[in-house]
Amino acid sequence: MGFFKKKLALFWSSVHDTKENQWIQNPIESQNKWFSELILKGCKTQFGKDHSFSAINSIKDFQDLVSISDYENLKPYLESVKKGEENVLWPGKPLYLAKTSGTTSGTKYIPITKDSVPFHIDGAKSALLHYIHKRKNADFVNGKMIFIQGSPELEEVNGIKVGRLSGISAHFVPQYLQKNRLPSWETNCIEDWETKIDQIIDETVHQNMSLISGIPPWLVMYFEKLVEKTGKSVSSLFPNLQLLVTGGVNYKPYEEKIEELIGKKLDIIQTYPASEGFIAFQDNVDSDDLLLMVNHGIFYEFIPAEEIGKKNPIRLTLNEVELNKDYAIILTTNAGLWAYEIGDLVRFVSKNPYKILVSGRTKHFTSAFGEHVISYEVEDAIKEAVENTQTVVQEFTLAPQVTPKEGLPYHEWFIEFEKMPDDINLFAKKLDSALRCRNTYYNDLITGKILQPLKISLIRKNGFNDYMKEIGKLGGQNKLPRLSNDRKIADKLTKYLL
């Protein structure tokens, strides 16, 4: 049976690759097709009537008639959707509302429709089939697979099921994987994350694990508790573990720690799923860039980073973007989101095919002195500093210190080390130098003696987890911002200093 299952996976991966290449090689054609289909469907909705969709004959018409929106802009429509009204943002009613945590809007409810839900599922499936085809290896299909995710228990509001995206996705795991899937349904339904991880360990520690999936902080937590409980490395416990599938946050800052816990290098597939749509995945394990899914129910626009916040920002389509520039990503989707800004910054590293890196969040940056440092720069800088000093970082964030008690202002980095550097001052110098190389504005502020070099505040072991627990955001899809433009997080972290 195992041999047959593996052969079937290899066959389907080849068929899938041939099919996917059609849109990969014709990205602009795919985007134009989706634009036309989305507008046609949108004409039948209240939003479409309010924005004269019947008069839209081009992308420019759409951009003239439909302004960039965020959750707050769409909230009146989304409230009508929650009440069970039909044909508001998309024909009919959505099947699900994905519950997410917003920084400004509190809890957000993002619609997932009959038309959009297959693309959420197909995105994850495509990532695995691409891997099988490229590696010519499907050994993992015969082992056990863990999906560390939110509870699959859903509530119902006016005929619409409501829950976390990962919990909704749990209802769509293919039948042929159900026997291989862990943890049990009952364990997945546990809400408390520390209790859930303990139960997952009990269910998996003696199993033949071949694939493990989850956001990086929760992979670290699971692996740490496994090692603590057994005294063995993860690869000793799971000798057939072949593949990690991650998403939600950048994997790179966690890479060294996870590799140390596992005890060897594994293949990693990074994905870019969002409640608003499955956007991209890593189609080559030897490169960190992500293949943009241009034929999966989404029409994309991009706002240059320097235009963010302007009343009428420049809006570019896929064929207008440039390499190595940061853009806010804007989605129009078959779930009824129209010119919707999801808050992420992306950077194109290839246009044949279109590949991206997630470079930051539009609301997560440090620019108290005009430097506009973004997540990609700080994650890259700390990775370089770690590699040059043989240290291991568990978690970090940074904030500006505008009014120090003495001396010039500076960037304050809050870092929880798993393995401390031999010389913390040397580590700080290397980190500062790495960031100066990546952000010329920051470098100019240092050389111009407007800022002094960064300072490091040490967070005690598990301090960041305790902070997330204190604010009620431990676990699930909640993520610690890598950087801030104020001291709100920094001030709360002082109680967790080493």
Task: Classify residue 439: in a domain, yes or no.
Answer: yes
CB atoms inside a 10 Å sphere around CB 44: 13
What is the separation, in whole angstroms, between the first and last Cα of the chain?
54
Q: What is the mean pLDDT of residues 150-179?
A: 83
Task: Classify residue 8: in a domain, yes or no.
Answer: no
**CB-facing half-sphere around the CA of 76: CA atoms within 13 A:** 5
Task: Classify residue 395: in a domain, yes or no.
Answer: yes
For residue 481, give the CATH number of its domain. 3.30.300
Task: Classify residue 105: in a domain, yes or no.
Answer: no
What's the confidence (pLDDT) of residue 192? 80
Q: Which of 170-174, 189-193, 232-236, 402-406 has the lowest mean pLDDT?
A: 170-174
The C-alpha atoms of residue 415 and residue 393 are separated, in whole angstroms, by 7
What's the confidence (pLDDT) of residue 103? 47
Q: How confident is the model at residue 216 (pLDDT cuts 50, 70, 90)?
A: confident
pLDDT digits 0-9 by tens, 324-376: 999 999 999 999 999 999 988 999 999 999 999 988 877 778 888 878 888 88
CB atoms inside a 10 Å sphere around CB 309: 9
Q: Residue 177: pLDDT above 70?
A: no
Mean pLDDT score of the chain: 90
Q: Residue 199: pLDDT above 70?
A: yes
Bridge partners of 333, per DSSP, are 298
What's the confidence (pLDDT) of residue 417? 94
Q: Which of 183-197, 222-236, 414-428 has the lowest mean pLDDT?
A: 183-197
Task: Classify residue 431: in a domain, yes or no.
Answer: yes
Print the domain residue range for 462: 365-496
Integer angstrom CA distances of residue 471 from 101, 199, 288, 475, 487: 12, 24, 32, 11, 15
Q: Which of 4-8, 332-336, 379-383, 415-419 has the lowest mean pLDDT?
A: 4-8
Q: Residue 277: pLDDT above 90?
A: yes
Integer angstrom CA distances of residue 47 from 39, 52, 97, 110, 300: 11, 9, 18, 16, 19
Measure CA 97 to chain center.
Answer: 19
Number of domains forming the structure of the chain: 1
Most confident among 53-62, 103-112, 362-371 (mean pLDDT): 53-62
Q: Residue 254: pLDDT above 90?
A: no
Higher pLDDT, 413 or 359: 413
| Of 157, 7, 20, residue with least CA distance to 82 | 157
Q: Please, is 355 exposed, middle or buried when counting C-beta atoms within 10 Å of its C-beta (0-12, 13-18, 19+)?
A: buried
What's the confidence (pLDDT) of residue 385? 92
Going 34 to 21 to 270 to 7, the CA torsion angle's sign is positive
Q: How confident is the model at residue 141 (pLDDT cuts 50, 70, 90)?
A: confident
Task: Classify residue 358: in a domain, yes or no.
Answer: no
What's the confidence (pLDDT) of residue 421? 94
What's the confidence (pLDDT) of residue 102? 54
pLDDT digits 0-9 by tens, 294-320: 999 999 999 998 888 788 999 999 999
Q: What is the mean pLDDT of residues 52-69?
A: 97
Render the burial of 113-148: b for 16+ CB within 10 Å, e for the rest.
bebbbebbbbbbebbbbbbbbeeebbbbbbbbbbbb
Q: What is the mean pLDDT of residues 373-389?
A: 89
Task: Classify residue 31: in a domain, yes or no.
Answer: no
Task: Classify residue 115: in a domain, yes or no.
Answer: no
What is the reported pTM? Answer: 0.82
Bond before 183 cis per omega within 30 degrees: yes
The C-alpha atoms of residue 241 and residue 221 are separated, in whole angstroms, by 17
The C-alpha atoms of residue 337 and residue 90 are separated, in whole angstroms, by 8
